[in-house]
Structure 1
């Protein structure tokens, strides 16, 4: 089963504005915002909370992330991660990504 969630760590009003503007509510079962967590990325709290709300283990999740702090949070949660919008991972960072794509349009069709 595939669950879709958004973990933005942004303000609820901004998330609501973007979701309404692009009519996104129908695509997400959970939305985690900064008010839902005590610690932001790279702390894994948000990803762990969302997995819990979905009733799945973080290790069963695949997270698409566009920031190093987000990838670190995904790794620390135990989830698998795909990097978006980065051509390479900076040296010295101890992170794991299963793939890196320039942007969402460059991903294989199975993710679209």
Structure 2
């Protein structure tokens, strides 16, 4: 019997949302009278919490009331763009079925707001595979801080070293490693070279199976 849990980031792991988020961010920032290049979004902002992105883009600390209003408007625009366009990443649903059949607990840990996580899982019909969701609404510090993964491990009832994380952003991979978790990079948003480190990097879940997942753990971890 397997004695580990799997945690999935959402954007770029459960569904390829990078271009939709990029369009929503660039269009929304433009409405604020500012500019954002696609390269800046992909390399410096994608995978970060909205709070951090707005502080970076506006180049100032934003108070909670203004921040919540900005986030609500931006994410509403994103969901308008994404409605009916989200599909599970290639191979993901088969992998989830195999993991569920093996009784491996699974959860989502996303820098997105809770409403976006629920929207994505509903649009992709994948909600039933996950025991828990941790979103940006529950954390004070975004990735690369490990807080979101530490909270998710507690929900699952597993020690951090018994958790495997799938992430598509460098910030997310570093956050999971800081939490003392095993990681596999998904090169859906960034290139494999950009994500490279002391862990496997795959293009999508067609290159992932339970054998690869189990291989990440040493006997003493389990």
TM band (smaller chain): 0.7 to 0.9
**1:102 and 2:203 are equivalent in the alignment:** yes
| Counterpart Cα distance in 2 of 1:22 and 1:14 | 12
Q: Which moved more, 1:29-38 or 1:13-22?
A: 13-22
Gaps of 5+ in 2: 4-103, 214-222
Query: Aligned-pair distance for 1:107?
Result: 2.2
**1:24 and 2:126 are equivalent in the alignment:** yes
**1:40 and 2:142 are equivalent in the alignment:** yes
Cα distance change on mapping 1:60 and 1:21 into 2, 3 Å: same
Tell me the number of residue pairs that the alignment of Structure 1 and Structure 2 aligns.
108
By percentage of residues, which structure has more strand?
A: 1
TM-score between the two structures when normalised by the length of structure 1: 0.86
Higher-Rg member (1/2): 2
The answer to whether the 8 A contact 2:161-2:181 is kept is yes
Q: Which moved more, 1:99-108 or 1:62-71?
A: 99-108
Query: Aligned-pair distance for 1:89?
Result: 4.2
RMSD: 2.0
TM-score between the two structures when normalised by the length of structure 2: 0.45
**1:11 and 2:142 are equivalent in the alignment:** no
